[in-house]
A and B are shown apart, each in its own frame.
Chain A
Amino acid sequence: MRHHLVGFLAGTLFGLGLCLSGLADPAVVLGFLDLAGAWNPTLLFVMTAALTVTLIGYRIAFARGHPLWSSHFRVPTATAIDTPLVSGAVIFGIGWGLAGYCPGPAVVSLASARGEVVIFIAAMLVGMIAVRLLRVRFPALPMMGPPQRVSGKGAKNPTAGVRS
């Protein structure tokens, strides 16, 4: 139960951060991505602040060895640079650059009750389901990649390349 509360609180804070920072406005996001136009550096400030807090906070959290209310950190264990990672990032970037929405800001923007946002989310869910189904149906396809694996119980090193 307390994990649900943590999830709810973290989601709310995350959403407030998206709203206040300007990331819930696709004009701001596309303004950052538009290097050849009137460049808007807002996203740089958001990323720098978020990354600084997370870098420091994660180090403190990982130094404890395990989460306060759980036996182990569940973090991705994959280290290979593979086709799905790169092709997925390429595809994701094109979609992000078209609409100015990545998943978080799109979900938050549902509050505006705009049909365009609903369509975007619906299409995004269809895309997600398609890849998940194809992975199960055709596990041998190298371009699809395996589903994400996270570290299991007893994993000691949640950081990739960090020695604490």
Chain B
Amino acid sequence: MQSFAFAAIGGGLIGVAAVLLMSLSGRIAGISGLIAGLLPPQPAHDWRLRLSFIAGLLLAPMVLNALAVPNGIGAPMLSYAAMIPAGLLVGIGSVLANGCTSGHGICGLARLSPRSLLATATFMLTAMATVLVMRHVI
């Protein structure tokens, strides 16, 4: 029960972050998009804001560590070798679809975007199918 309360509080903080970025700077808090805009062939002109956001993400667990609060980071579930295809798929898919769990799943759904609804439903389904195959079929 306690973990569900933390889940709701954590989700609320994610929402506050997304609303803050939109209402002050007019930007979507989509992690894959923010990261992709820092990469070749041409980093976006607003790379400083993007880098600031990523720096904040990296700082968060350190803040919790400093406060002696569990940082919630769990152990990786795949081997080194298996992380390569998983990471490649996440990178390729999120740039092709122009968004990931945050950009489509939270910000896009909150804008009632039909594209984001379809993307979110699609990646939820294929992720569930993947777990089904990996855990119960193979």
Contacts and interface: CB of A to CB of B under 8 A. Distances in A.
Q: Are A and B subunits of one complex?
A: yes
A20 B57 contact: no
Interface of A: 2-28, 30, 33-37, 41-43, 45-55, 57-58, 60-61, 64, 66-70, 72-76, 78-81, 84-104, 106-112, 114-117, 119-133, 136, 144-145, 148, 158-162
A36 B13 CA distance: 30
A85 B21 CA distance: 24
A57 B24 CA distance: 12
Majority secondary structure of chain B interface residues (helix, strand, loop or mixed): helix
A16 B10 contact: yes
Interface of B: 3-4, 6-29, 31-33, 35-36, 39-41, 46, 48-65, 71-80, 82-102, 104-115, 118-120, 122-132, 134-136
Contacts, number: 511
Given A103-B94, A124-B90, A160-B114, A116 B15 contact: no
B33 A37 contact: no
Contact of B9 (A49, A110, A115): A49
Contacts of A46: 7-8, 10-11, 14
Contacts of A19: 10, 60-61, 64, 71-73
A100 B25 contact: no
